[in-house]
């Protein structure tokens, strides 16, 4: 079952921008999303990828790893 964030098409852009070092506010501004929506999406990605925390997600994304498993 796909989550809401998958249906909106923002997961990959948020993941990519996070890997580039942008913060939640900057990602939201760039994508036209509220900061809280960016935070919720990031939390879902951390859960989906079974990562420990945001720092691990940033390292994962900045290493150029694909979001899709």
| Cα(18)–Cα(6) distance, integer angstroms | 17
Residues 6+ positions from 49 with CB-CB distance below 8 Å:
57, 60, 67, 69
Range of the domain at 52: 9-62
Q: What is the mean pLDDT of residues 8-30?
A: 88
3 within some domain: no
13 within some domain: yes
Q: What is the pLDDT of residue 1?
A: 41
52 within some domain: yes
Decide: 5 and 41 in contact? Cβ < 8 Å. yes
Q: What is the mean pLDDT of residues 26-48?
A: 92
54 within some domain: yes
45 within some domain: yes
The token duo for 52 is 């420990």
39 within some domain: yes
Question: 3-state secondary structure string, 21-63?
Answer: CCCHHHHHHHHCCCHHHHHHHHHHHHHHCCCCCHHHHHHHHHC
Indicate the number of domains in the chain. Answer: 1
Q: Record the pTM.
A: 0.79
Question: 19 or 9, which is more confident?
Answer: 19
4 within some domain: no
| Residue-averaged pLDDT of the chain | 83
CATH number at residue 44: 1.10.10.10
For 39-52, write each residue's pLDDT tens digit. 998 998 898 889 99
């Amino acid at each position: 079952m796909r989550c809401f964030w998958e249906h909106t098409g923002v997961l990959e852009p948020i993941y990519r921008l996070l890997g580039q070092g942008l913060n939640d506010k900057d990602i939201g501004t760039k994508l036209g999303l509220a900061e809280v929506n960016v935070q919720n999406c990031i939390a879902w990605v951390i859960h989906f990828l079974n990562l420990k925390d945001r720092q691990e997600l940033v390292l994962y994304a900045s290493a150029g790893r694909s979001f899709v498993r």
